[in-house]
Structure formats: C-alpha cells, structure tokens
Amino acid sequence: MAISEALQLKKFEKILFKTDIRPLWCPGCGDFATLKAMKAVMYNLQWDPTQTLFVAGIGCSSKMNDALGTYGLHVIHGRAVPAAIGAKLSNYDLNVVAYGGDGDMTGIGGNHLAHACRRNIDMTIIVTNNKTYGLTTGQASPTSDLGYKTKTSPFGVIDKPVNPILNAIASGATFVARTSTSDSKHLAYVLEEAMKHKGTSFIEILQFCITFNRINTPDYYSTRLFDLKELNHNISSKTNALAMADLWGDKIPMGVFYKEDIPDYKEVYPQLKDGSIVKNRVKKPRDVSKIFESLM
C-alpha cells in the first residue's frame, strides 16, 4: 500500500490533536518539544481525542493541557496521579496520561506516584524533569543535583537527589523509560512505546530550564547521554534495569529500562472485572436504609 493511501485511512486528522493556544513557556523551553512529540504520537496511535484525558499538576509543563485538542483536567499540586487513576478506573475506555514536573511528581506527589506504579493501572505517567522549580523562579527541587545554588539554597543543595527511574522500577511500574527533549526522534519513540503499553508506563523526560538551571544545560547532557540499545540492554531483567537506573554522572543512560507484560489492575481486582463504573451505572436508586441501620 502506498504511503498516501495509508494516510487516508487515518480517522482522526492531525488538526484534531491541537488547539490555537500557544503555551506561555520561555523561548527554547523543552516543553515545546514534548508538546510537539505528544501530538504526533497521539496521531500515529490514532487515539480518539474525545476519549483521551490529560491530567496535569502544577508547574510549567502543566500548561500543555491548553494546547492539546483532548479533554484535560488541571488539579492541585502533586495530585495529578490519583485524579488520573480515578478517571481510568471509572471509564476503562479512556486513554489517560498524568504528567507534571519533577517537583510536582517526585516531591509533593511522590507518594501517589509510588502507589500508582505498584498497582499497575493502565495509564501513562510522565515526569518532565528540569531539576528545578521553574514556575516559582528556580528553587531546588527533589531531583536537583548536589551543589545546585538557588535563592533558597545559596550554598548549594546538600540533599541527595531523587532518582525517578530507580523509584519507578522499585515501585513496580511495568514500563519504565527515560528520554530527552534534545533528541526529538527518541522522545517520540519512547512516548509511543509507553502509550502503547498495557499497565503503568512511566517516562522521565530530561529537559532544560534555560532560565534558571545553569547546571543541567544542553552542553551538560550532550556529552553524557547514551542510548541503552548501545549496550544490548535486557529490558526484561529488573536487576539489569536497576543497575542502569543507578547510573548518573559522566554517563547517563536513556531508553527503555524495564518492561513487563502482566495483567493490569482491573483484570486482577475482583470488583473491577465486570466493567468500569460508566458501564455499570445503577439503573434505579437503591434502598440503603438497612445498611445505615446496621451501623447505628
């Protein structure tokens, strides 16, 4: 089949995945690359925009909702993951993506992130990691490197940084990957693989905060990032994945660290096997008076 003929088979056109809104990001921000890749991947996968929900936390990256032609939910700081879980378990047919920055996801929302991974709910979780609180003008985040100087840490960060990849693997995510906004092809590839995965897929996107973070710059990453494919990495080995996830310094791996195909949450939780809430709505009000009486 010719490429032109294949493209004609696409039900949802590219224009459906975008809006006329341009997010207010700093020129050169990595969020622009993520937005572009996200729209392209949704088109390639032919996700129905009317059956797709992006749940955003608080931060620069969370402005992406405005530019996507899908449903969006903007929640309070650190709560994107539990809100996304509620949406997915209420309607299994939804394509659900929860995303936020490193502070939102690994700081305020770190607890939610860990439990979402271990439950293996069929959704994608994205952490855009620029290693700083960019929206609030550059304070240190949980992932900031040692020595990172800010207004609130003028002598440099002394706390050991959180490793999102290591945490996601240890918590039980069944797809864990890292990519970077410096490599658009790799970014789109990882997003697509994650969004096709059945179960909890977790992605860390390394990106630059060109305004505040003067440590983790394009030059910093250009000599350090390498693809795990170069090592013939075994993505089915959790031991290998943990070892690779622990690498950070002169060499920083990116790609798929771990992948496991097992039944997702709704398939193993008895009360969820018969279908989602929207498919099993109560037809008429039930008399719950006896239940209340038994509790008195």
What would the pLDDT profile of 176-193 be if each residue is shown by its tens digit? 999 999 999 999 999 999
Which pLDDT score is estimated for 190?
A: 98
Burial class (CB in 10 A: 0-12, 13-18, 19+), 71: middle
Instruction: State mean pLDDT over 257-283.
Output: 87
Give the separation between CA 161 and CA 253, rounded to whole angstroms: 17
Compute how many other C-beta atoms are within 10 angstroms of the C-beta atom of residue 216.
21
76 pLDDT above the threshold of 60: yes
Give the distance, in angstroms, between the CA of residue 133 and the centroid of all CA atoms in the same chain.
17
- The residues spanned by each domain of the chain are 11-295
Instruction: State mean pLDDT over 282-286.
Output: 69
Which pLDDT score is estimated for 3?
A: 44
Which pLDDT score is estimated for 9?
A: 66
CATH 3.40.1110.10 assigned to 11-295 = no
Which pLDDT score is estimated for 159?
A: 94
Full-model pTM: 0.90
Which pLDDT score is estimated for 1?
A: 38
Give me the count of residues in the chain.
296
In this prediction, residue 271 has a pLDDT band, given cuts at 50, 70 and 90, of confident
43 pLDDT above the threshold of 60: yes
Give the separation between CA 64 and CA 70, rounded to whole angstroms: 11
173 pLDDT above the threshold of 90: yes
Helix (H, G, I), strand (E, B) or coil at 253: strand
